[in-house]
Amino acid sequence: MAAERAREVAAADELRSAVSRRSGTVGEIVGTLDSWALSLGSFRVSVWDLLVILAIVIFCFLLGKIGSGLARRGLRRAKRLDSTQELLAEKLITIAIWALAAFLAIDLLGIDLTALAVFSGAFGLAIGFGLQKTFGNLIAGIILLMDKSIKPGDVIVIADQAGQSTFGQIRKIGVRAVSLVTRDQKEYLIPNENLMINQVENWSYSSRNVRIQVPVGVSYDADIEQAERLMLEAAKSCERVLASPPPVVWMKGFGESSVDFTIHCWIQDPEEGVGNVQSAVLKKVWHAFKDNGVEIPFPQRDIHLRSSEQIDRLLAAMEARVGEKLQTE
């Protein structure tokens, strides 16, 4: 039993013996702590064993934190790596450092790795079922960084299972999730796996240019050529609208109360918002139309009544009632 216990907590026993040889007083305190123990069959663990295990875990944890921090600083100084490569290297090095820290803790605790091999199958099965989402998100995040399809700073639109779209800028790609910040400063944590499964509209993948469509309706009595010219001038006068590619105006169709046009213009900073550009263009169009007498129609309908015997009798009754009312007055 003693030999088995020595193999299990070798680090605690060796440290207790070393302390006892150096100082008798401290050795007595350590012996007292070691005497306070809990025995379950052949397994025995004392307060001293728990303190040693806690100290080793804290030491390896601090070692992992310091090592990952130094690696992060070194990568930031590397000028040959872009932001995506730097983030990918940081994740891989961090995983390697924490794995080494875990093996160091196992070695310092004197745990026999051959004994763990017996439980490796069950442990792997537990990880496969219990942590499959976590590992799936980790692998998905590494894949996203390797193929550079989504990077920090990109502006994306992602749809959830309900079909609702979320628009925002990627702030960070973490181990488990991507941090997406919307225009109203709401921060969404989207699992990395969702970006691999769902359709993602990346506005910054190959080019940062984004086309905006602004619908405008013009009265049927208006001069179409003049209206098109005024819409182009209004779009070009907006500060964030790009001069190249230039804005264009397309006639969309004949509506119920207006001739429908669409202004197509381009911006290069979608992270600053899209709706505010549409609002700015519409304000410019409003003032241009008002200054040049171009009418912006409102919805209206013309009702045509067919002549019939019932309608004629109804109209006659209404006229008779109005006549009687006028006579009484």
Q: Which range among 161-170, 202-211, 308-317 has the greatest average pLDDT?
A: 202-211
Give pLDDT tens digits for 247-273: 999 999 998 889 999 999 999 988 888
Q: What is the pLDDT of residue 22?
A: 55
Mean pLDDT, to the nearest integer, of 286-292?
94
3 state SS for 114-162: HHHHHHHHHHHHHHHHHCHHHHHHHHHHHHHHHHCCCCCCCEEEEECCC
Q: What is the pLDDT of residue 267?
A: 92
Residue 10 has pLDDT above 60, yes or no: no
Domains (range + CATH), the chain: 2-111 (no CATH), 148-202 (2.30.30.60), 207-329 (3.30.70.100)
- State the chain's mean pLDDT as an integer: 77
Confidence of residue 40 (pLDDT cuts 50, 70, 90): low
Q: Which range among 4-8, 83-87, 184-188 has the greatest average pLDDT?
A: 184-188
Per-position DSSP letters for 67-119, written without gaps between them = HHHHHHHHHHH-SSS-HHHHHHHHHHHHHHHHHHHHHHHHHHTT--HHHHHHH
Give the helix/strand (H/E) hosting 267: strand 259-267
Give pLDDT tens digits for 299-318: 777 776 666 777 778 778 88
| Stretch among 27-36, 194-203, 248-257 having the lowest mean pLDDT | 27-36
With contact defined as beta carbons under 8 Å apart, do 176 and 192 qualify? yes
Give pLDDT tens digits for 181-192: 888 888 888 888
Q: What is the pLDDT of residue 89?
A: 74
Note the pTM of the prediction, 2 decimals.
0.53
Give pLDDT tens digits for 128-164: 666 677 777 878 887 887 777 888 888 888 877 666 7
Higher pLDDT, 137 or 242: 242
Q: What is the pLDDT of residue 322?
A: 81
